[in-house]
Chains A and B, each alone.
Chain A
Amino acid sequence: MNAPSTKQRLWQVAAVVAAMVACWVWFAFGATYTIYAKEQLVLFVADWAAVSEYLTRPAVIASIVGDYLTQFYLLIGGGATILTVVMFALWGGCRAALKRFGASGSTATMWALLPVAAEVALNGHVEYPLSMSLAAMAAVWSFVAWNKMRGGALKYVIAMAWSVALYWAVGAHALMFVLLGAAWACKEQRWCWGAAIVGVGIAAVATIGRLMYLPVSQAFCYPIIEHYALQNCNVYLLTEASILAATILSLVAARGRAWLGVVASVAMAVVGVTTIFDRTQEYWLGMSCEAYFNRYDRVLERAERNWEHQSYVASYYTNLALAKRGELGERLTEFYQPSTYGLLLDVDEKSPYGYVIAASDATMTMGDLAEAQRAALLAMTFTPNQRSSRVAKRLVELAILLNERELAEKYLWQLERTALHKGWARSHRAILDEGSERVAQQRQNLVKEDGFVGANNWYPALYALVEANGENRIAVDYLLTMHLLRKDRQRFVADYERYFYPHWGAHPPKMYQQALMIAFDNEQELVSAIERYHISPEVQRECVEYSRIYAQERGRGEALQQRFGRTYWFYCNYAQMN
């Protein structure tokens, strides 16, 4: 085989560099919020008691290192950089492995990108942990190291022993080592040893899983956690399939045609990413993360695209951002509104944890700490690893507001032992010790009188809030918009009169004006309402025009949509209530 020319070498280097740059760019700018969300699903407490918990499950080392490094996903570009470094190391291992099988340097260089492309695609899912990629890297480098050993039977015995240890250390991707080892045995025509390696590798997973009380299906995909959003946890086998395919194709089908490896890798990346990566989720995770970072202006920037990626949680964050700016009554129907489901999130143990994590944001803002607390504890319980830095911070905030010092200290103690949340923890410990004006203000919104209410039963909680503090504008807006989205005009008028009008009646928001215009059947009442509620001439004119077109077109919505599609009248007439 001819040695590659300098130009060919340059092209190869350029291809690998381009692949790594693409990887970084993808994670930094394409899957930005998925990466941030991964950090929120981890709470790595650097304390022996917490770390020793990892010993009760397989993938001990990969999980510890993976969760530790995942903390740095919080930094701008942190996730992209860590993943790119891991992918580069994985590529290096795959290349070395392919070369051990006899592929030429240039062929190995290009085909080694194929399993990397698979891992990149898999990392586009919020529940695919970094520990899996570290495991893949460890498995392939283990094969390379093992393969350099001399000896016959002993070498294969070592492979079997190592496959057991590797599963304990890195989890499911130990299978990569097993498959590569078996492939090597086949190449050497030691069929029995190949079968033995596979047999021992599979038995190791089942046995260790059993010893650690994992169901077999969970043992074969650990540290991916079953029964969450990742529908098929065995999807990680894509990487195993890729390395095997790369091994075979680099030797047989594409000898001397290294560029085919690039084509296959690009195809794998494109197909993998489009299949595994959820754009709608990335969109609403963006809103959720920006809300978490307290950048509600960015939430509103994204809100316009909610018509494209409709979801309850995107509407929820849009409404929360509007409410924080005092614009909920002004702009409510400018955005996609799935009835009241996008106003406050109904969550229980069966809800997606992304929604459950989000659910406490609005209730906390309003002062409904009972629901916020319930949602936060649900979120901590039902995230895949039952630990979340974001939820821990929420629980601290709740405990501070409720003046539950010891509880706040428990979570602060944990956050103080993380890599990047310790500053936040210190500042909140200071608030716990010295108090703050903001906390004092928020406490004014808390419910004063106790009562009982079913979970997700919003009206009693909203009424309790507005009764507790009549100047809690956000709670009043949520109550009124709840009526509007339910098309309950009678209750809207009653509560507008009781809770909104006395404080802010001089400047009624547009949506409320529109609702008031259609709230009265009697003309006399309407006339006096227009005067009492300061309904603007513009709204009056538009209402007349809307009614005229509606009558003229006999209720045909298309004629109204262009001009009035974002008015409350249009919502009232045409939004479907489920």
Chain B
Amino acid sequence: MVWVVACGRAPMEGYRQRPQLPPMFPDYAYITIPCNIAPLNFEIDSVESIEVLVKGEQDWQFTSRGATMRFKERKWREMLEAECGNELIVHVTTRQGNENCGWRSFTWTVSEDRIDNYISYRLIEPAYEVWNELQIIERNVENFDERLLGDNISTDRSCMNCHTSNRAEQPATFMHVRGKRGGTIYSHDGEVRKINTATDHTSGSAVYGEIERGGRYGVFTTADIVPILHLDAHERMEVYDRSSDLIVIDFEEGTVSDNEAVSGAEYQETFPAFAADGRMVYFCRAVSRPQPDSITTMMYSLCAVDFEPQTGRLGDEVRTVIDAESVGRSFSFPKCSPDGRWLMVTVSDYGTFPIWHSETDLWLVDLESGTIDTLPEVNGRYSDSYHSWSSTSRWVTFASKRDDRVYGRAYIAHVDSLGQVSRPFVLPQRDPSRYRTTLKSMNIPELYQQAESYNARSVRKIYFQTEAEQFEYKENQ
């Protein structure tokens, strides 16, 4: 079958049509994309040239020599602007030797919902809870610009993690830098501070957490974590908490407080997240059991506790939102959409460290009706976890190991107003083979609108030259 294009440069002619989708890497077929996403460059192994014809209201033709399709950024932007809200049909043809191949067409739906401009993630070796060189990257999702927010080679090779933004108009962000001179790097209103959140009354420094939209309060886990190996090499490793509690940090007053309802030895509490209105904190809780013997019976329920945004006080009554035993899954990492409609949560068979659990999936909870969508179209074969909402509540990003089980990559999916989540696609790269050559995992991807106020050089300076503010413990009143 010969297909002739009516406009644009002369396409490859006389090709053989194949019934399969093009063997693209990464797979960008049948996806919904934001109208401000960077070009979806892809590779097709062993071809000499690639031609892409995108048919929307207009026809858009792109060609590339070699096995990598690199879309011209300007033309790509023009196309997305012109075709915003349209479904595009994408025809890919390739040339290899004397043979031209046309592949089965597929669609791109260009959503009018813009995605937040920036995504941050950590690059770390997937080496079982140890690290050597790691970096926190801020990537502009509209193009391929990257900026280093942290590089541990310049901070005594200390661990860095959890760069998180509250996505407010005046954003507050935090990032933990461990090590001798480390602390929590807190940024708000252009001021960058280094804070020691460990107190005599709480078990260690802050770990996972969130900052409320006002930027004053943050709710965090403090945990004593222990890594352990599986005997079955497929499962790799497990991590459990010897103890874990929730704390509230008042960044304005410089205090750390807790509440008996969410601390103590009876339960383990972790992964706190604010509700959209800031009046409640969701978290995960399990009855403490001897570990590691009972590790496979540690089931974390999704719970909630009130929060008073004026005083920063956690309520005394814990409510179970979804009982882990009732659904037979253990919850972690709840995150509310900024519009307050949805809550996305990670589920796995047991425990509190889903990243190495291949069965780990994302679920979407409708906070109005309480219904759960198990997202079969979204979840991959292996671990999907550590998600983050865009400030518009229309996009989520998450770390997925679906491609090879070991190396995490940032995937992006669209969530429409009815809670329908589209097929996810991997964060595009200027050179897609970067995913093949890298030996680092991308983890804890985080979407936000405004570029971070600091960079790796300022973090180094803060690390070495700034004394950490010591926060005081405050009794919960």
List residues of A whose CB falls within 8 A of some B CB: 45, 47-50, 52-53, 210, 213-215, 218, 227, 348-349, 369-374, 377-378, 380-382, 386-387, 398, 402, 404, 406-407, 409-410, 413-414, 446-447, 449-455, 460-461, 464
Q: How far is the CB of A344 from chain B (nearest CB, A)?
A: 14
B225, CB-defined interface residue at 8 Å: no
B431 touches A48 (CB 8 A): yes
Residues A450 and B231 in contact in the complex (CB < 8 Å), given A381-B131, A386-B132: yes
The answer, among B128, B133, B436, for a CB contact under 8 Å with A377, is B128
Q: Is the pair A378, B130 in contact by a Cβ cutoff of 8 Å? A: yes
Q: Are A374 and B128 in contact (CB under 8 A)?
A: yes
Instruction: Determine the interface band of chain B, counting residues with CB < 8 A from chain A.
Output: 35 or more
Do A446 and B233 touch (CB < 8 A)? yes
A452 and B405 contact, CB distance less than 8 A? no
- 5 residue pairs from A and B, CB less than 8 Å apart: A371-B229, A374-B229, A380-B125, A381-B130, A406-B405
CB closest chain-B residue, reference A457: B229
Indicate whether A387 sits within 8 Å of B154 (C-beta atoms), given known contacts A377-B126, A381-B125, A447-B232: no
Q: Determine if A49 and B128 form an interchain contact, defined as CB atoms under 8 angstroms apart.
A: no
- Bound CA span A450–B356, Å: 15
A372 cross-chain contacts in B, Cβ below 8 A = 233
Give min CB distance, B414 to chain A, whole Å: 25
Q: Assuming A414-B436, A452-B295, what are 8 further A-B pairs, CB within 8 angstroms?
A: A210-B457, A213-B148, A378-B130, A402-B234, A413-B436, A451-B232, A455-B128, A460-B231
Distance to closest chain B CB from A372 (angstroms): 7
- Compute how far the CA of A414 lies from the CA of B233 in the bound complex, rounded to whole angstroms: 23
Chain A residues with Cβ under 8 A from B236's Cβ? 370, 373-374
On chain B, the residues within 8 Å of A461 by CB distance are 231
In the complex, A380→B440 CA distance in Å? 10
B439–A452 touching, CB < 8 Å: no
- With an 8 A cutoff between CB atoms, is B292 at the interface? yes
A464 and B132 in contact, given A210-B457, A407-B405 (Cβ under 8 angstroms): no
- Contact check, A406 vs B403: say whether CB atoms are below 8 A apart: yes
Which residues in A have their C-beta under 8 angstroms from that of B406?
407
Known contacts A404-B405, A452-B229: A386-B125 contact under CB 8 Å: yes
Q: Which of B127, B153, B437 contacts A47 (CB 8 A)?
A: B437
Q: Nearest Cβ distance between residue B447 and chain A, in whole angstroms? A: 24
Q: Which of B130, B232, B404, B432 contacts A410 (CB 8 A)?
A: B404
CB under 8 Å from chain A, chain B span 206-235:
227-235
Query: A49-B436, A370-B236, A410-B407 in contact; A378/B127 too (CB < 8 A)?
Result: yes
Question: B238 on the interface (CB 8 Å rule)?
Answer: yes
Q: Are A215 and B154 in contact, with the CB atoms below 8 A?
A: yes
- B446 located at the interface, meaning its Cβ lies under 8 Å from any Cβ of chain A in the complex: no
Shortest distance between the CB of B100 and any CB in chain A (Å): 25
Q: Which residues of B have CB within 8 Å of A452?
A: 228-231, 238, 292, 295
Q: If the complex has contacts A47-B433, A52-B431, A370-B236, are A449 and B231 also in contact, measured as CB distance less than 8 A?
A: yes
Known: A370-B232, A452-B292. A381 touches B132 (CB 8 A): yes
A447 touches B229 (CB 8 A): no
Assess whether B29 is interfacial by the CB under 8 Å rule. no
Question: Which A residues touch B405, using CB under 8 A?
Answer: 404, 406-407
* B460 and A213 within 8 A (CB): yes
Which chain B positions have C-beta within 8 A of A404?
234, 404-405
The answer, yes or no, to whether B74 is at the interface (CB within 8 Å) is no
CB distance from B240 to the nearest CB of A (A): 9
A77 to B232 alpha-carbon distance, docked (Å): 42
Q: A213-B456, A374-B229 are in contact. Are A407 and B404 (CB under 8 A)?
A: yes
Residue contact A370 to B125, C-beta cutoff 8 Å: no
Within residues 264 to 305 of chain B, which ones have a CB less than 8 A from any CB in chain A? 292, 295
B434 within 8 A of A: yes
Q: What sequence of 0s and 1s flags, for each residue 85-127 of chain B, a beta carbon within 8 Å of any chain A beta carbon?
A: 0000000000000000000000000000000000000000111
- The answer to whether B130 touches A370, judged by C-beta atoms less than 8 angstroms apart, is no
Nearest residue (CB) in B for A43 is B439
Chain A residues in 8 Å Cβ range of B436: 47, 49, 410, 413-414
Task: Check if A414 sits within 8 Å of B437, measured CB to CB.
Answer: yes
Q: How near does chain A come to B153, taking the closest CB pair, in angstroms?
A: 6
Contacts of B431 in A (CB 8 A): 48-49, 52
Most chain A C-beta atoms within 10 Å of own C-beta, residue among B148, B238, B405: B405
- Kindly report which residue of chain B lies nearest to residue A210, judged by CB atoms: B457
With an 8 A cutoff between CB atoms, is B361 at the interface?
no
Residues of A within 8 A of B452 (CB): none
Least CB separation from B459: chain A residue: A213
Asked whether, in the complex, the Cβ of B228 is within 8 Å of the Cβ of A49, the reply is no
A70, chain B: closest CB distance, angstroms: 18
Determine if B437 and A50 form an interchain contact, defined as CB atoms under 8 angstroms apart: yes
User: Given A387-B439, A410-B407, are A369 and B233 also a contact pair (CB < 8 Å)?
Assistant: yes
Contact status of A370 and B231, CB under 8 A, knowing A213-B456, A414-B437:
yes
- Least CB distance, A513 to chain B, in whole angstroms: 32
In the complex with contacts A49-B431, A213-B456, A381-B127, A218-B153 CB distance below 8 A: yes
**Chain B residues within 8 Å of A382, by CB:** 127, 132
With known contacts A378-B128, A406-B405, A373–B233 Cβ distance under 8 A: yes
**A214 contacts B154, C-beta separation under 8 Å:** yes
Residues of A with C-beta under 8 A to B151: 213
In the complex formed, the residue of A with least CB distance to B148 is: A213
In angstroms, Cα B230 to Cα A49, docked, is 34
Nearest chain A CB to B2 CB, angstrom units: 34
User: Which residues of chain B come closer than 8 Å to A446, judged between CB atoms?
Assistant: 233
Which of A378, A409, A464 touches B231 (beta carbons < 8 Å)? Answer: A464
- Taken together as a complex, chains A and B put the C-alpha atoms of A380 and B441 apart, in Å, by 13
Residue from A370, A386, A409 whose CB has the most chain B CB atoms within 10 Å: A370
Which A residues are in CB contact (< 8 Å) with B237?
374
Most buried by B among A410, A413, A450: A410
A20 to B439 Cα, complex, angstroms: 39
Which residues of chain B come closer than 8 Å to A398, judged between CB atoms? 233
Residues in A neighbouring B231, C-beta threshold 8 A: 370, 447, 449-453, 460-461, 464
In the bound complex, residues from chain B placing their C-beta under 8 Å from that of A413 are 436
**A369 cross-chain contacts in B, Cβ below 8 A:** 233
B384 CB, nearest partner CB in chain A, Å: 15
- Distance (Å) between the CB of A380 and the closest chain B CB? 6
Q: Is the CB of A45 within 8 A of B437?
A: yes
Q: Give A227 to B132 CA distance when docked, in angstroms.
A: 11
Q: How close is A211's CB to chain B, nearest CB, in angstroms?
A: 9
Taking each of B229, B238, B405, which has the highest tally of chain A beta carbons within 10 Å of its own beta carbon?
A: B229
Residues of A within 8 A of B429 (CB): 49
Q: Which residue of B lies closest to A405 (CB)?
A: B404
CB-CB under 8 A from A380, the residues of chain B are 125, 127, 439
Whether B229 contacts A213 by the Cβ 8 Å rule is: no
Shortest CB-to-CB span from A404 to chain B, Å, is: 6
Residue pair B229, A455 in contact (C-beta under 8 Å): yes
* C-alpha spacing A372/B234, complex, angstroms: 12
Whole-angstrom CA separation of A45 from B437 in the bound complex? 8
Q: Which residue of B lies closest to A371 (CB)?
A: B229
In the complex, chain A residues whose CB is within 8 Å of the CB of B234: 402, 404
CB neighbours of B433 from chain A (8 A):
47-50
B 399-441 binary contact with A (CB < 8 Å = 1; else 0)? 0000111110000000000000000000001011110111100
Instruction: Looking at the assembled complex, report how far the CB atom of B429 sits from the nearest CB atom of chain A, in whole angstroms.
Output: 8
**Assembly CA distance A138 to B213 (angstroms):** 56
Q: Which 8 A-B residue pairings sit nearest by Cβ, starting from the closest?
A: A369-B233, A450-B232, A50-B437, A381-B127, A381-B125, A406-B404, A49-B434, A349-B130
Q: Which of B148-174 contact A (CB under 8 A)?
A: 148, 151, 153-154, 157
Q: How many angstroms between the C-alpha atoms of A458 and B203 in the bound complex?
A: 31
User: How far apart are A205's CB and chain B's nearest CB, in angstroms?
Assistant: 15
Residues of A within 8 A of B157 (CB): 227
Q: Is the CB of B437 within 8 A of A214?
A: no
Chain A nearest Cβ from B310, distance in angstroms: 42
A378 vs B295: C-alpha distance when bound (angstroms): 25
Contacts of A410 in B (CB 8 A): 404, 407, 436
In the complex, the chain B residue whose C-beta lies closest to that of A369 is B233
Q: Which residue of A lies closest to B292 (CB)?
A: A452
